Structure 1
C-alpha cells in the first residue's frame, strides 16, 4: 500500500515525463526548417507514456537561428530553445506543468494541480 496521494503521484509522473523529454532530445540537431517536425516528434513520443494527456512543445525559431554558430546550418537542441507544457492525469487528478527559461536556466514547474 502506498502512502502517496494521487496528486503526489501525478506530480511524480510529470517529473518522469520532463526528464525523458529533456534528456532524450537534448543535443538533437535542429534548424529553423526542422523545428515543426521536431516539435511533433517530441510531443508524440512523450504522449506515449502512461498518464500523459497532452504535450505542447514550441521550439523557438529565432533562438534556433541565433544558436547556429557554424556553416552546417543547425544547432543542438537545448532547453533554452524551447518551451513545453504538459498535462498529466493520474487517477482523476490532473497536473499542468511548464518548462521555460528563467534566470538563464530552463525551469520545469508545476503550474496547477486539479482534482
Structure 2
C-alpha cells in the first residue's frame, strides 16, 4: 500500500499529465494567453486534492512561434510555466513545470507533512 507522501506525489503526476496532454495543441495567440491560463488552472483545480494551480504563458514566446497569417500558434511546454500545490491527507506537494535543456520538465519542488517535516 502506498504511503501518504507517495500518494500525494502520484496525485501531482496525474494532474500534470492531465494538464499537459489535455491542453497541448490548443490554439493560442498573444490576445488569448490570459484567458487560456485561467481556463487551464481552473480546469485542473477541479480535480481531487488539487488546491492551487498557476499557469503562466509567455506572450513573447507565443508571438515568436506564430509562423502564419492566422495569428496563433499551438500551446506547447516551451510556452508556459506551471506550478501546482497538491494536498493529500497530511502531505502537501509543490510542483513546477519549466524548461530545462530544451524540454518541459515536470518536477517535485517540495514534499512536506503538516508538521513541516520532509517525509522519510
TM-score, normalization by structure 2: 0.93
Q: Give the one of 65, 70, 78 matched to 1:72.
A: 70
For residues 19 and 113 of structure 1, the distance between their equivalents in structure 2, rounded to whole angstroms, comes to 19
For residues 82 and 100 of structure 1, the distance between their equivalents in structure 2, rounded to whole angstroms, comes to 7
Segments ≥4 residues shifted beyond 6 Å = none
TM-score, normalization by structure 1: 0.97
Q: Give the one of 60, 65, 71 matched to 2:58.
A: 60
For residues 95 and 43 of structure 2, the distance between their equivalents in structure 1, rounded to whole angstroms, comes to 17
Count of residues in Structure 1 that have an aligned counterpart in Structure 2:
113
Structure 2 residue 4 is matched with structure 1 residue 34: no
**Which runs of 5 or more structure 1 residues have no equivalent in the other structure?**
none
**Which runs of 5 or more structure 2 residues have no equivalent in the other structure?**
114-120
Once superposed, what is the RMSD of the aligned Cα atoms?
0.4
